[in-house]
Chain A
C-alpha cells in the first residue's frame, strides 16, 4: 500500500514510530498530485512550499522527542471556499479569481494548530452552488472511480485519488455527504453550530456547515476533534461537551434503534441504490440493531423550501461582490451602477445568477410572506419530523444520493434535475442535525453512499453506528484505479 492511500490514523502511527517522516508523506502526496491531478482536476491552488515547511516542523518535533497530536503532519486538502490567510480563495468563481483574504477560517486555524499539512485549495461548484463541481468557473473535477463521472467536489476527489489524506469540505445542501458518497468516502456534516463558520465564504448562512471528508470513520472522528468547538467570532457557534470523538469508535450496535424513513426510498431513488441500502440495513439487523421503517411526512416539501431559503440567503450573502473592494471588476465602467451590474454579470456564472435572481424575487415585497415565510414554516415542520423520529430512534438511515455519481454533463442543462440529486441530504441542513455518509456498496464499479442521521449534537452516535458498519463490511478497503 502506498503512503498516499493510508489513513491519518495509520500515518500518525508510522510518524510516531519513526517509520516514515512527515516530509516523506507530504512528498509522496505531492508526487501523487503531479501524477494524477491532470486527470482528476481536484486542485485550484497548491501550497507545496508552505506544506513541506509544516511537515518539516513536525519532523523536527519528532526528532526533538516531542509528542505530536494525531493530525500533525497529515496532508489535508481545503475546499476553496474556506479562507486561508495569504492564499487566494476563489470559490471557483471568476468573481474571486484573484481574492487573497487577510484572515484564516477558524477550521483552518485549528488544523494549523494541530500542525496539519495543508496541501492546497480544491475545486467546487461556484460559491458551492451545484451538486457536481460542473459549475466551477475554472474546470470540472473528475471522479477518480470513473473519469466521465462527477466527483461532487474537489475535496472528495482529492482524498479518493490519493491526492490528500483528509479534506475539509462544506455542506449547504449535502456537498460533503454527496461528494463522499460519489467518491466512496466518509463525509460528515456536523450539527449546525458545532464547527465555526468563521472564514467559510457564505452561501446560505443558516444552512452552511464545514465538515470532514475522510477515508474512514476513525479519521472522521480525528478531524472532528480538531475542528469542533465554540468560536466567539461566530455568533451561531455552540459549545459541545465532547472532547474526544474517538471514544465513540465502538463496534457494537446491539439494541440500537434504527429508523428507515420510507420517503427516502421512493421512486426517484435508483433501484440499485435502494438495494444497497436495504442490504446495509439488513447488515445492521444481523449485528443486533433494531431496524424498522418509519416516516418523515414533510420530506416532499423539503426541496422547494430548501431552494427558496438557500437562494434568499445567497442573494443577500453574494450582494457584497460588486467590484468595489476586491475581486473581479468590469473594465472601464461608465459609472458606479454600470460597474456593479457588469462586474456581477461578467463575474458570476449562470447557476449563481439564477439563484441570486430567485433569492431576490423571494425576498421582494409581496413575495416575502407567500414564499420566504412559507418556506420557513416548512422548515419548522421538517425539524419537527426529525424531533419526533429521534424520540423513537437513535439513528435514521437513507441513501445519501438517489444514484451513484452521474455522468458529467448529464444533468448540466437541467437545474431542477440537478437539484434532485440533493433530495436525501438537504432536509438535514434544514433540520440543522448532524449526518454522515459512508460507503454502503458498489454499483457497476461506482460507490454508493449510505446516510446516517442523528439528533443535534449526537455526532458520537453517528460515529458509533458508522464505525460498526465499517468494521463489518469491506467497502472502505477499495481504492479506485488510476
Chain B
C-alpha cells in the first residue's frame, strides 16, 4: 500500500460585530423574530442601492493586519451570481478581483511543533438569509425565508493548501478564531454561526507534488467536526484510490451523527458565478494613514501574550497557551493578578475549578458570574488563612451560582476557619474518644490512621478547622 499525504485548505467565514449591516442600516442583532431586521435594501427591492458601511472596511483591515496580511491600496466589490431563495438579489456582493487583504499567515502549534499556514486572502462580503424548511429539505411542502442574516457583514479568510493533517486543520481554525477574537471584530461564536468553516481536502502519494482531485466539505460548525470530517474524508479518498477508483470533484456535507461526509453536488452542477464589478459601488482607494492608525490600535495578539506570560509570570508553556487562547480568559487572568499577584495560583484556579464549572454549565468565561476581582479576593482570604482550601472550594461554587462576594458568603455561612487552639483541641479530644480503634492502630505504627482521624476532626468542625493545627494537635495528644 502506497503512503498518502493530504493537502488541506480552509475557507473560514467570520461575521463582523458591527451594529448595522454591510450595505444598509438594518440592525445586526442576533436572535430576534424572523425578518425583524430587514429593509428594502437588504430585501433586494427594486431601485434600492447598497451603501458601504465604513466600519466593515475598518474591521476587515484590522483582521487582515492581525493575520499578517498586506492590505490592498485599491479594493473593489464584485457581484457573485447564483440563484437561491435566501439570496435576495440572486447575487452576493463579494470581492473577487481586488480583495481587501492578501498574503498573510498564521502560526500553529501541534504535537509535531510549530508551523506557518499561509493565508491567500481575506475579503469582505455580505451574508445570505436563512431557509426554514418544514421538516426535511427533500420532503418539505414549503419553506420559509428569514432575511435577518441577509446583508450581515462577513470576511472570508482563505488559507493556502499548507495544511497536511486533521490536527493541523483544527489547530489552524482554533488559532484563527483566537486571533480574530483578540482583534475584537467578531465574537466568532460557531454555535451562532458567526464563524463558519469549509474544508478542501485532497490526497496524493507521498513524494509527489501534483495535487489530487479535491472535495469541499461545507459548513462545519465545531472544531471537533473540522477534525473528524477531515479525518473521514482523507480515509474515504485513500480507500477509493486504493481500490483503483478516482475522486470526484464535489461538494460534501458532514453528518455529525453518522460521522460521515455525504455528497451535495458534483462539479457538473457547480456554479459559474459570473463575477463582475458591482456598478452600484465605487471602488475604494485605501488610505495608508488609515491603515497605520488601525495597526496602532491592534491589541497584543495571542502569540505575543503567551510569550509574555512565560517570561513575565514564569508560567509553564502549557498554562500560557491555555490562558491566552481567548482574549476573555487572558484578560480575566490579568485582572485577577491586579488584586492577587500570584500568577501560578490564579492560573491553577482558572484552568482547574473555573474551567470545570464553565464546561459543566456550557458557559463562556464572559458569562461567568464570578468577576476576576472576586476570585482574587477569595484567593487572598485563603492566603491569609481566613478560609481553608477546602472551604475555598465551597465558597467558589457558591460564588459561581450566586455571584456574591466571597466575604459575604463566608459570613453568611459562617465558614471562617477555626484557628483557635482551644476550640480545635476540644474537638480533637472528642474524636480520640470516639475512635479508639484508629487511635490504637496509630499507636501500633499505622501512620495512615492519622489521616482518618484528621478527616473526622474536619468533619466535626464542618470543614472549618485549620488542617495544619488539627494535625499538630492530634499528634501531640496521641
Give the interface of A toward B (CB within 8 A): 82-83, 89, 91, 96, 99, 101-103, 105, 197-202, 204-206, 232-236, 312-313, 316, 319-320, 322, 324-326, 336-337, 340, 360, 363-365, 368, 372
Contact = CB atoms under 8 A, between A and B. Distances in A.
Given A316-B81, A320-B89, A322-B90, A83 B47 contact: yes
Given A101-B47, A198-B49, A322-B83, A316 B88 contact: no
Task: Name A's interface SS.
Answer: loop
Interface of B: 40, 43-52, 79, 81, 83, 85, 88-91, 143, 145, 272, 274-276, 279-282
Closest 7 CB pairs of A and B: A319-B90, A205-B279, A363-B274, A206-B279, A201-B46, A199-B47, A320-B89
A197 B49 contact: yes
Contacts of B43: 325
A236 B280 contact: yes
Contacts of A232: 51
Contacts of B50: 235
Given A102-B40, A360-B274, A322 B85 contact: yes
28 contacts: A82-B47, A89-B46, A198-B47, A200-B47, A201-B47, A204-B279, A205-B279, A205-B280, A234-B49, A235-B51, A235-B52, A236-B279, A236-B280, A236-B282, A316-B79, A316-B276, A320-B88, A320-B89, A324-B85, A325-B43, A325-B145, A360-B274, A363-B275, A364-B272, A365-B272, A365-B274, A368-B274, A368-B275
A234 B51 CA distance: 7
Choose among B51, B52, B85, B279 the residue with the greatest number of A CB atoms under 10 Å from its CB. Answer: B279
B274 A202 contact: no
Given A319-B90, A372-B276, A198 B48 contact: yes
A385 B184 CA distance: 50
A372 B276 CA distance: 9
B306 to A, nearest CB: 43
A347 B145 CA distance: 22
Given A102-B45, A235-B49, 9 more contacts: A101-B45, A102-B40, A202-B46, A202-B47, A233-B48, A236-B279, A319-B90, A320-B44, A363-B274
Contact of B281 (A82, A235, A312, A313): A235
A313 B48 CA distance: 15
A200 B48 CA distance: 8
A199 B41 CA distance: 10
A435 to B, nearest CB: 20
Q: Which of B43, B48, B91, B272 has the most CB of A within 10 A?
A: B48
B90 A235 contact: no
Contacts of B276: 312, 316, 363, 368, 372
B280 A235 contact: yes
Contacts of B45: 101-103, 326
A325 B44 contact: yes
A235 B284 CA distance: 11
Nearest to A197: B49
A336 B274 contact: no
Contacts of B281: 235
A279 B50 CA distance: 46
Contacts of B282: 235-236
A82 B48 CA distance: 11
A320 B81 contact: no
A320 B46 contact: yes
A317 B279 CA distance: 10
A422 B48 CA distance: 27
Nearest to A336: B85
Contacts of B275: 363, 368
A234 B44 CA distance: 15
A335 to B, nearest CB: 10
B47 A103 contact: yes
Contacts of B85: 322, 324, 336
Nearest to A237: B49
B309 to A, nearest CB: 46
Nearest to B274: A363
A83 B47 CA distance: 7
A302 B401 CA distance: 74
A83 B41 CA distance: 13
B97 to A, nearest CB: 11
Contacts of B40: 101-103
Contact of B88 (A101, A102, A204, A325): A325
A74 to B, nearest CB: 24
Contacts of A199: 47-48
Contacts of A204: 279
